[in-house]
Structure 1
Amino acid sequence: MLVAMNEKKQIINLLENTAPQGSFCCPGCGGAVRLKKRKIMRPHFAHISLKDCAYYSENESDQHLMLKSSLYSWLNAHDEVELEKCLPDLGQVADLLVNHRLALEVQCSSLSISRLQARTKSYQEAGVQVLWLLGKELWLGKRLTKLQEQFLSFSYNMGFYLWELDDKKNELRLHYLIHQDLRGRLQYVTKRFPFHQGRLLTILRSPYAQQRPASFEGRQDRTIASYIARQLKYRNPYWMQLQAVAYAQGENLLSKSVTDFYPQIRLPQSEHGFAQIHQDLAPVYQAFEDFYQQQKNKDQQVLVPPSVYLNRK
C-alpha cells in the first residue's frame, strides 16, 4: 500500500509525503497499518494484523509498487489522479483513478477470468471506465492465453489491442492490429511510449484518435496444408471440429491447397467473450472475411484496421 489514513482522517500518500509521522490505518478496512522502509522494496504501508482486508493486498511486488508510482507521477503532471482510491460501493480499490471516471489497473500477476470479468463489470456498472495495463508476467508471448484474451480491447482504428508496462525500460507499450495465424501464433504491431513523455491520458486515448490507418504484411505459412494434415492425424479437437464442418459441406480439409486456407492470419476470437469489449463484433468478422476473399493475390496478406474493410462495404 502506498496510501493510508492518519488520525485526522486524512489520506497520506507516500509519493507526496515520504516521511509521515503518527499512527495510520487502512482506508478500506480501518485496520492499523505501519510504515515499512526497506532497501529492496520502496517504502510502503502494511497491515499490522494478519487479518484479511478485502480492499488492499499484502502481497504487492516491487514491480507493482514501482509501476503505480511511475504512472501516478506521470499523470499528476497533467490530470487529477488519486492513488489507490478506495471505492466502497464497488468493494475494490483502483490502482489509479483519473479525473473520477477512469480507473487504471496495473496487473502484474495472474488472476481468474471470473475475477477479472467481475471487477471489470463492477467498474462499468458504476460508470467508471477501466483500462488494464499488464506487468511482465502477463506480457504477450507467441500465443494468446485465455486470460490475455480478456485484457484485449478493440477500436476501429487499431483493431484488437493491449497495453503493457515495462519498469526496466520505463516504457508503456501498445500492441495493436493483433491477429493470429492458423497455428495460433500472434502477429501485431507495437508502439512504445517512454514514461513521462507526453500526456499519458492522450496516449491511452490514441486507439480512438483520428489517424492514418496502419498496416503490416503478415507472415504466410507455405506449409500450412501439411500442418493441418498432421493435426487431423493426431485428432486435434479444434481441427477435427473444422473437418466435421467441412464434411457437412461436402468438402475435405485434406484435399485443400495452401491458397484454400487464405486468409491465414485472422482476428482473435474467445469462447468466453471479451471482458473489455462490448460492441457487437459479428459485422467486423464478416467484413474481414469478405475483404480478404476479394483479394486476388493469395500469396500475400496485408493486415489493416477494421476501419478499412468496414468502409469498403
Structure 2
Amino acid sequence: MFIAMDKNQKRWNCLEEIPDVSKGPFYCLACNSPVRLKNGTVLRAHFAHVELQHCPYHHEAESLEHLELKASLYNWASKESRTEVESYLADFQQIADLLVVDKKLALEVQCSSLSLERLKERSDAYRSHGYQVYWLLGKKLWLKERLTKLQAGFLYFSQNRGFHLWELDLSKKELRLQYLIHEDLRGRLHYQTEIFPFGQKSLLEVLRTPYLSQPMQQMAVVLDRTFLTYVQQQLFYRHPKWMRLQEELYLQGHHLMELGLDFFYPLCRPILSQNLLQIEEDVEDYYQQFMTYYQSQGIQPVQILYPPRFYAQQKS
C-alpha cells in the first residue's frame, strides 16, 4: 500500500513523497492498525501492515506486480484527472486501487484469484453507490485457451466490441483490450487484441474505446472440419455435455453421429455464462440475432464474426 497516516493524522502518499521513518509511527487509513514503511531495493517505497490479519480490507501482502501497476496507472490517470490511489470509500467500506474522483470511476488492479462471490459483492457495491468500476487483470488472470468462470466475471459488453476484458502487462508496460471474445464448441477462445502503451493516450479515452463510434470490427475463424471426430471422441469418453445432447436427440429418434457439420453451425459463438457479473444489460437479443444470421447464411469455410451492432442491423 502507498497510503498511510502518521500520529498527527497527516496523510502520506509514497508515490508523491516518501516520508522519513522518524515521521512514524504510521497507520492504515482504513483499519487504523500499525503499518511499517518499507523502502528497500526490490520493491518501491510502500507501507505494509505489521499484522495483516487485523485489517479486513487487505488480505495478502502486495506483489511487485500489483504495486508497480498501481503506480503506473496512478501516474497515467493523474495527467488528466484528479486521481487517488487506495481511496477508502467509507460509505460502503471499500478501498479502490485507484479512483478518478470527478468521474466516480474506480480502477481495480486484480493480480490474484478471488471468489466469484467476492467479485460480485465488490462490483455490486460500486454500482449501487454510483461508481463505475473497471477490473484490470494481472498476468495470472490473462486469457488463455479457455475461459474460466472467474474470467467470465470480468467480461464487459458493448455493441462495438462485443464481450471484452482488460489486461495489464507490467513487463511490456501496456494495457490490452481483448475483444470480440467468442468460444467455439470445443471450448476454445477466439478474440482480437488492441494494445495501448502506458501513458501514450488519455487513459479515460482508452477505457471508452469499446463504446466510441468506430469502424466495424471483424474476425475470421476457419471452419473446424475435424469437429465431428471431436464429438465422436467426447461420446466415447462420455463427456456430460455431449451425452446430454445425445439423450435429447435420441428421444427425437436421432443420433449425434448421424448429423452433419451443418447441424452444429455456427461452430464459434458468443460467450454463454452464468457469471457475467459486470454486464447489466440484457444480451439475449444479441444471442438470437447472432444465431439467426449464421443459420440463414449456411455453413461457410470461414466464419466471419462481427460485433453485436452488426447483427442488430441485419435484423432491421
TM-score (norm 2): 0.95
Aligned to 2:226: 223
C-alpha displacement of 1:248: 4.1
List per-residue Cα deviations over 1:68-103 (Å, max 9, x = no partner). 000000000011111000112222210001135111
C-alpha displacement of 1:202: 0.5
List per-residue Cα deviations over 1:161-183 (Å, max 9, x = no partner). 01000000000000000001111
Aligned to 2:5: 5
Q: How does 1:1-313 map to 2 (within 5 A)?
A: 1-20=1-20, 22-23=23-24, 24-100=26-102, 101-270=104-273, 272-313=274-315
Question: What amino acid does structure 2 have at the position aligned with 1:119?
Answer: R
RMSD: 1.4
SS at match of 2:297: coil
Percentage identity across aligned positions?
A: 48
Question: What amino acid does structure 1 have at the position aligned with 2:76?
Answer: W
CA distance in 2, matches of 1:51, 1:233: 50
CA distance in 1, matches of 2:51, 2:192: 47
C-alpha displacement of 1:258: 1.9
Residues 228 and 239, structure 1, Cα contact 8 Å, conserved in 2? yes
Pair 237,296 (structure 1): closer, same or farther in 2 beyond 3 Å: closer
Residues 262 and 298, structure 2, Cα contact 8 Å, conserved in 1? no
SS at match of 1:142: coil
CA distance in 2, matches of 1:50, 1:116: 21
CA distance in 2, matches of 1:142, 1:36: 39
Between 1:69-78 and 1:19-28, the stretch displaced more is 19-28
Question: What amino acid does structure 2 have at the position aligned with 1:7?
Answer: K
Residues 54 and 91, structure 1, Cα contact 8 Å, conserved in 2? no
List per-residue Cα deviations over 1:173-225 (Å, max 9, x = no partner). 00000001111001010000000001001000110001111101113211101
C-alpha displacement of 1:295: 1.1
Between 1:295-304 and 1:105-114, the stretch displaced more is 295-304
Question: What amino acid does structure 2 have at the position aligned with 1:153?
Answer: Y
Query: Structure 2: any 5+ residue segments left out of the alignment?
Result: none
Structure 1 outlier segments of 4+, above 4 Å:
none
C-alpha displacement of 1:44: 0.8
Residues 106 and 133, structure 2, Cα contact 8 Å, conserved in 1? yes
Residues 146 and 189, structure 2, Cα contact 8 Å, conserved in 1? yes
Residues 54 and 92, structure 1, Cα contact 8 Å, conserved in 2? no
Residues 259 and 298, structure 1, Cα contact 8 Å, conserved in 2? no
SS at match of 1:34: strand
CA distance in 1, matches of 2:181, 2:267: 14
CA distance in 2, matches of 1:195, 1:22: 33
CA distance in 2, matches of 1:131, 1:220: 34
TM-score (norm 1): 0.96
Residues 106 and 134, structure 1, Cα contact 8 Å, conserved in 2? yes
Residues 55 and 86, structure 1, Cα contact 8 Å, conserved in 2? no
